[in-house]
């Protein structure tokens, strides 16, 4: 089992293994990639609640590249909140998993890029999602499977939304993972205050009550996100609640 | 004699020692019996507690890492309660697992409707590419479980029951077995229904086929058995008519008649015992003789 002391070292070593961002694939260039899917000229980063979190994870945290996307010891990122996957596809394109030319086909009959992702159609997509509340239980099983195979290094990351957290399946997974000390399991909750009944006292305390390590940070602050993503959490799973602007009502 | 569920625990516990790909996921049911195996393989025998959405979701996650997971609880809580997880966390992810149920349609009548799942096989029929085994004896259960664990990455459902036949049949997974040959129609008995079907058709000039695997449906086996007269009776230990569509497809190119017998759709608000329920459903030998005889003659 990886301890946090080693996890920190590993994280530092990882960033050196990551490929240099290709020309035109800085964070500032993601809106243009998203524009290929929507046809819109401009997208401010705030147009999507997940963009900063996804970028920091893929740019600085996750040990997975197009070349290692099938390796058994890769880190795994599970996009549970499959809605609004344009930011995800844009980051995957920026990191070389998807040919940027494919982005324009978004939602088309023959496109691999649906409005909810399908893991069998897109390289680097770990789960097919869309129905809410499936990613966290799948992430628990993934962490169990890696542990059972003696793979103590790979991290499992699951992204959920604060409204998605309404689904009871998440709570089954949070309680079990905490009780089991699944310390290679990580969750990032994008909290844009969109849950209909809210979460009194904050989402993090639901995880803390089950024994998780928690951090709540500004979901637009890349340094704060990176610190929270790489925090030590010996013997416990870890959640990062990334708070962003409240969802606009349409 | 041991039960199918006892045999499941024994054979699975042994195979966990031999095959590092196998993992068992439980939701409290049968967890005590797996304790010795769990002590030997704490990372591969996992009890998630009374959390059936997680039971199937975690099973899907294990499969995503290349394991061959086995999930088990009562059929009501394995197929019906987390059905969307079965649909999305296994089939839609493109991964496979073995789901092993107990209690079936009527194994604990005193427990009432909450613990009865006559619709499980029909539900799985709404999804592509599931294998469904319905053994009628612990020996068949062992054979089919071993086959399922080694069946690549297919999704396989093994439906175990406390209702069983006195003797095992030598089955070939996926094939119907001819138990008796006659000329005035075919009766297909599924799993635990065989003993009652054999008693009911004693002295009748009918072919009796036995199915311990119902999906894929052995269309060639049925076609070969019908001969000149395509009159077919299905006797299934779950929702009546569940296999009727598959049987109709098998005989689509010829005129045929079909009667689908099994557990009725209507709720049956009685407790009691398995034999009382089989009689009430018209599935004991005297009722079957009457219904089969009327249809074939």
pLDDT digits (tens, 9 = 90+) for B10-45: 999 999 999 999 999 999 999 999 999 999 999 999
Buried b (16+ CB within 10 A) or exposed e, B122-155: bbbbeeeebbbbbbbbbbbbbbbbebbbebeeeb
Residue of A148, A152, A175, A237 best to disrupt the B interface, most CBs of B under 10 A:
A148
Quick one: pLDDT band at residue A10, thresholds 50, 70, 90? very low
Chain-chain contact of B62 with A141 (C-beta, under 8 angstroms):
yes
pLDDT digits (tens, 9 = 90+) for B91-136: 999 999 999 999 999 999 999 999 999 999 999 999 999 999 999 9
pLDDT at A22: 54
Higher pLDDT, residue A14 or B145: B145
pLDDT at A247: 79
pLDDT at B5: 98
Quick one: pLDDT band at residue A66, thresholds 50, 70, 90? very high
B89 → closest Cβ in A138, A148, A172 = A138
E strands, chain B, are 22-26, 45-47, 68-74, 98-102, 130-133, 155-159, 177-180, 186-190, 207-211, 213-215, 231-239, 257-263
The nearest alpha carbon in chain B to A178 belongs to: B48
What are the start and end residues of each CATH 3.40.50.970 domain in chain B? 4-159
pLDDT at A7: 37
In a domain, A71, yes or no: yes
Q: Does B57 touch chain A (CB under 8 A)?
A: yes
Asked if residue B246 has pLDDT above 70, the reply is yes
In a domain, A250, yes or no: no
Higher pLDDT, residue A19 or A90: A90
Chain-chain contact of B64 with A147 (C-beta, under 8 angstroms):
no
In a domain, A248, yes or no: no
Chain-chain contact of A144 with B49 (C-beta, under 8 angstroms):
no
Asked if residue A21 has pLDDT above 80, the reply is no
Quickly name the fold that domain B177-296 has: Rossmann fold (3.40.50)
Q: What tokens appear for A33 in the block? A: 């990639």
Chain-chain contact of B61 with A173 (C-beta, under 8 angstroms):
no
The nearest alpha carbon in chain A to B85 belongs to: A134
CATH assignment at residue A45: 3.40.50.970
Range of the domain at A12: 4-243
Total number of domains constituting chain A: 1
What are the start and end residues of each CATH 3.40.50.920 domain in chain B? 177-296
The crossing angle, in degrees rounded to 10, of helices A30-38 and A86-94 is: 130
Please state which CATH number belongs to domain B4-159: 3.40.50.970
The nearest alpha carbon in chain A to B94 belongs to: A120
pLDDT at A16: 42
């Amino acid at each position: 089992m990886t301890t946090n002391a080693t996890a920190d070292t590993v994280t530092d070593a990882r960033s050196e293994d990551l490929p240099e961002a290709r020309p035109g694939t800085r964070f500032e260039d993601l809106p243009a990639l998203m524009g290929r899917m929507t046809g819109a000229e401009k997208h401010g980063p705030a147009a999507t609640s997940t963009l900063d979190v996804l970028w920091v994870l893929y740019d600085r945290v996750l040990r997975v590249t197009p070349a290692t996307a099938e390796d058994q010891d890769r880190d795994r990122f599970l996009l549970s909140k499959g809605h609004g996957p344009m930011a995800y596809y844009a980051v995957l394109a920026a990191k070389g998993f998807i040919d940027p030319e494919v982005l324009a086909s978004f939602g088309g009959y023959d496109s691999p890029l649906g409005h909810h992702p399908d893991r069998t159609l897109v390289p680097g997509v770990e789960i097919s999602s869309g129905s809410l509340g499936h990613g966290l239980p799948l992430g628990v099983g993934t962490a169990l499977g890696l542990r059972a195979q003696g793979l103590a290094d790979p991290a499992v990351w699951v992204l959920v939304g604060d409204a998605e957290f309404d689904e009871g399946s998440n709570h089954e997974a949070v309680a079990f993972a905490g009780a089991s000390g699944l310390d290679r399991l990580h969750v990032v909750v994008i909290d844009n205050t969109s849950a209909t009944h809210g979460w009194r006292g904050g989402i993090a305390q639901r995880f803390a009550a089950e024994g998780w390590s928690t951090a709540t940070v500004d979901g637009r602050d890349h340094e704060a996100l990176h610190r929270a993503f790489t925090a030590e959490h010996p013997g416990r799973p870890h959640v990062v609640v990334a708070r962003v602007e409240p969802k606009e009502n349409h | 004699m041991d039960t199918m569920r006892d045999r499941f625990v024994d054979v699975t516990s042994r195979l966990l020692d031999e095959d590092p790909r196998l993992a068992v996921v439980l939701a409290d049911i049968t967890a005590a019996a797996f304790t010795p195996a769990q002590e030997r393989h704490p990372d591969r025998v996992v009890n998630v507690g009374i959390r059936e959405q997680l039971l199937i979701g975690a099973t899907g996650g294990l499969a995503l890492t290349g394991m061959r997971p086995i999930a088990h609880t009562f059929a009501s809580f394995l197929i019906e309660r987390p059905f969307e997880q079965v649909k999305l966390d296994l089939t839609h992810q493109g991964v496979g697992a073995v789901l092993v149920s107990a209690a079936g349609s009527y194994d604990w009548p005193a427990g009432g409707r909450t613990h009865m799942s006559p619709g499980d096989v029909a539900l799985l029929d709404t999804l592509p590419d599931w294998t469904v085994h319905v053994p009628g004896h612990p020996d068949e259960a062992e054979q089919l479980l071993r086959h399922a664990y080694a069946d690549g990455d297919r999704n396989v459902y093994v439906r175990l029951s406390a209702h069983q036949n006195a003797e095992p049949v030598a089955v070939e997974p996926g094939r119907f077995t001819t138990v008796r040959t006659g000329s005035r129609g075919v009766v297909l008995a599924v799993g635990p229904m065989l003993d009652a079907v054999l008693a009911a058709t004693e002295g009748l000039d009918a072919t009796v086929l036995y199915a311990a695997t119902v999906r894929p449906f052995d269309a060639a086996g049925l076609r070969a058995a019908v001969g000149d007269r395509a009159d077919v009776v299905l006797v299934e230990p779950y929702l009546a008519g569940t296999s009727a569509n598959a049987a109709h497809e098998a005989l689509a190119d010829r005129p045929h008649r079909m009667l689908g017998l099994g557990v009725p759709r209507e709720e049956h608000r009685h407790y009691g015992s398995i034999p009382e329920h089989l009689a009430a459903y018209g599935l004991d030998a005297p009722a079957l003789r009457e219904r089969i005889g009327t249809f074939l003659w």
